[in-house]
Amino acid sequence: MSSHEGPAPRAGMREWIGLAVLALPTLLVSLDMFVVLLALPHISRGLHANSVQQLWIIDVYGFMVAGFMITMGTLGDRIGRRRLLLAGAAVFGVASIAAAWSASAPMLIAVRALLGVAGAALTPSTLSLITHMFRDPRQKASAIGVWAGCFTVGAIIGPIVGGVMLERFWWGSVFLLGVPAMVLLLVVGPVLLPEYRDEAAGRLDLPSVVLSLAAVLPAVQGLKSLAGDGWRVTPALLVVVGFAVGVVFVRRQRRLADPLLDLRLFAGRTFSATLGSMLVYSMLSGGTMALVAQYFQLVDGLSPLRAGLALAPGMAASVVGFQIAPLLARRIRPAHLIAGGVLVTAAGLLVMTRSGTSGPIVLILGFLISCLGTAPLVTLGTNLIIGAAPPERAGSAAAMGQTGGDFGYALGVAVLGSVMTAVYRARIPADAPAAARDGITGAIQAAHQLPGQAGAALVSAADRAFAAGLHTVAALSAAILVGVAILLATTLRHLPPLGRPQPDPTSAQTAPVETVHSGKELP
């Protein structure tokens, strides 16, 4: 063990260039998700898609990513993370071209599903390769910060790039944005990226794959339906079915000698507390962001593009935070830095509760402050989750982190949307038209059927009710995040700043990485 007691090897120019190769597809995959939302009206006209088909065009990609993430993370550990990454890139590039020239809505839905499967292969492979390429804790945190920042950059420039392309080209052009990046990855990836796989891994358990899909897909679909249409029997049953299948999935994993999902990872306090906190954080921050975007459009009257620009300062602040957090982590303990960031997010949410219906400035400021606190938990939390797992399970750990984030966002939109709806209905006047009680959009439509003063009064009442709902959601989220900050400050208090000796016993698991890899990296 003496060879592993010294400092971890530092990454050189080759690794940083490799990070750029991995970061570009990450940025463009994120950008692709946002430009498709902007392109949907053009797609529906071009392919004569009905409302149900439009929903599937948007949703099927996310469903496939969420459903296959765990499977792909574990598959990469078995067959090789670089091999899976390159295969995913090839499929993503070909499917993107097919999507651009889809001849019908069903064809586009099928291709978008294939894109989702490929996207599920890209994310955990990218993240697990980064953690292997950058073994020095400080460099690893910085690299993960770059990787995480790419998602946010894609969200910032997505509406802008999409708007420009839709003005100049046909709707299919938005699907071609990621193709050059995938070609670049396929050309230089074999040269710059190392390979890693677990030689001792057994065969992939296909029944576990089916069970994981049967657990995740109904749950996500049910949560999205509950968020969009309110509490109804069918989506509630889907959530229950997903949970029940999830229980069967967990029981099977406990019996298998080589499970699809290694539940032993949850025995570590660092892993379980960080993963659980990231799930709750994504639930609260993601759900609140969705409501803020609605507020900008429905109450402040901003166009979708202007609403996106109103969110841009906050997203830009989070990108800056992703680069600063790893530097701060060299001097500040993770417990203090991560918990402090969560408290900053809670403070931003409290600022949102002071916003009124007179303009978006306070809400923009509150959102910006909340985004400043995002980076420590996302960057350092991801580092802790993967670092707490044995090297041969890094892909699986990365997939769990990403799946938790996706599931948390869907859960947040559903739960916080329900809280918003309950407050809105309690605040809307009892004598308001039935359509107005269903939501602010219904109130605006009902107002057009009323005389001038009555219509204006109804819209004003709906605006105040929607604002009250947002304020309640923000205050509730802030209170829960204070609890999350306390949990993290307590659970992670034993961890030193990055780069200092690691007292946590799980660090012994990461020591053999160099030995395991010594014969597998490309010259």
pLDDT digits (tens, 9 = 90+) for 97-111: 999 898 888 899 899
Whether the Cβ atoms of residue 268 and residue 262 lie closer than 8 Å to each other: no
Residues 6+ apart with CB under 8 A from 146: 19, 23, 322, 323
Q: How many domains does the chain have?
A: 3
Of the candidates 138, 8, 72, 81, the residue with the CA atom closest to the CA atom of residue 513? 8
Range 36-69 burial, b when 16+ CB lie within 10 A, else e? bebbbeebbeebebeeebbbbbebbbbbbbbbbb
280 and 187 in a common domain: no
Bigger pLDDT: 201 or 39? 39
Establish if 435 belongs to a structural domain: yes
Bigger pLDDT: 425 or 107? 107
Bigger pLDDT: 138 or 372? 372
Bigger pLDDT: 388 or 275? 275
Q: Confidence class of residue 504 from pLDDT cuts 50, 70 and 90?
A: very low
pLDDT exceeds cutoff 50 at 372: yes
According to the model, what pLDDT value does residue 512 have? 36
Q: Which secondary structure element, helix H or strand E, spans residue 486, and what is its range?
A: helix 452-491
Q: Any idea what the CATH number is for the domain that residue 300 is in?
A: 1.20.1250.20
193 and 79 in a common domain: yes
274 and 243 in a common domain: no
pLDDT exceeds cutoff 50 at 506: no
DSSP 253: H
Whether the Cβ atoms of residue 278 and residue 411 lie closer than 8 Å to each other: no
Residue 425: which domain range?
Answer: 269-500
Q: Confidence class of residue 479 from pLDDT cuts 50, 70 and 90?
A: very high
220 and 242 in a common domain: yes
Residues 270-274 have a mean pLDDT of 82
Residue 451, number of CB atoms within 10 A of its CB: 9
Q: Confidence class of residue 394 from pLDDT cuts 50, 70 and 90?
A: low
Establish if 506 belongs to a structural domain: no
157 and 44 in a common domain: yes
Establish if 496 belongs to a structural domain: yes
211 and 169 in a common domain: no
Residues 4-21 have a mean pLDDT of 73
432 and 452 in a common domain: yes
Residues 359-381 have a mean pLDDT of 86
3-state SS of 182-206?
HHHHHHHHHHHCCCCCCCCCCCCCH
Residues 494-500 have a mean pLDDT of 73
pLDDT exceeds cutoff 60 at 503: no
Angle between helical axes of 13-47 and 105-133 (0-180°, round to 10): 170
Establish if 343 belongs to a structural domain: yes
Residues 204-219 have a mean pLDDT of 81
**Residue 22 vs residues 47, 133, 165, 341: alpha-carbon distances, Å:** 33, 11, 24, 27
Percent of the chain predicted with pLDDT > 90: 10
Q: Which secondary structure element, helix H or strand E, spans residue 338, and what is its range?
A: helix 334-352
Least confident of 151-165, 414-428, 478-492: 151-165
Q: Which secondary structure element, helix H or strand E, spans residue 108, and what is its range?
A: helix 105-133
Kindly report the pTM of this predicted structure. 0.75
Residues 479-488 have a mean pLDDT of 92
According to the model, what pLDDT value does residue 259 have? 75
Which of 214, 234, 259 is a domain's end point?
259
312 and 254 in a common domain: no
According to the model, what pLDDT value does residue 507 have? 42
Residues 6+ apart with CB under 8 A from 456: 447
68 and 125 in a common domain: yes
Q: Confidence class of residue 175 from pLDDT cuts 50, 70 and 90?
A: confident
pLDDT exceeds cutoff 50 at 520: no
Establish if 518 belongs to a structural domain: no
According to the model, what pLDDT value does residue 358 have? 62
190 and 252 in a common domain: no
pLDDT exceeds cutoff 80 at 267: no
pLDDT exceeds cutoff 50 at 515: no
Residues 306-319 have a mean pLDDT of 81
Q: Confidence class of residue 475 from pLDDT cuts 50, 70 and 90?
A: very high
**What's the rounded Cα separation, in Å, for the pair 313 and 310?**
7
Least confident of 88-102, 297-311, 357-371: 297-311
Tokens of 242: 């997903």
- Supply angle C-alpha 175, 180, 183, rounded to 5: 120
According to the model, what pLDDT value does residue 476 have? 92
Establish if 137 belongs to a structural domain: yes
pLDDT exceeds cutoff 60 at 58: yes
According to the model, what pLDDT value does residue 345 have? 93
Establish if 104 belongs to a structural domain: yes
52 and 89 in a common domain: yes
Residues 288-311 have a mean pLDDT of 78
156 and 50 in a common domain: yes
Residues 6+ apart with CB under 8 A from 3: 514
According to the model, what pLDDT value does residue 5 have? 46
Whether the Cβ atoms of residue 426 and residue 393 lie closer than 8 Å to each other: no
Average pLDDT, the chain: 78
Establish if 264 belongs to a structural domain: no
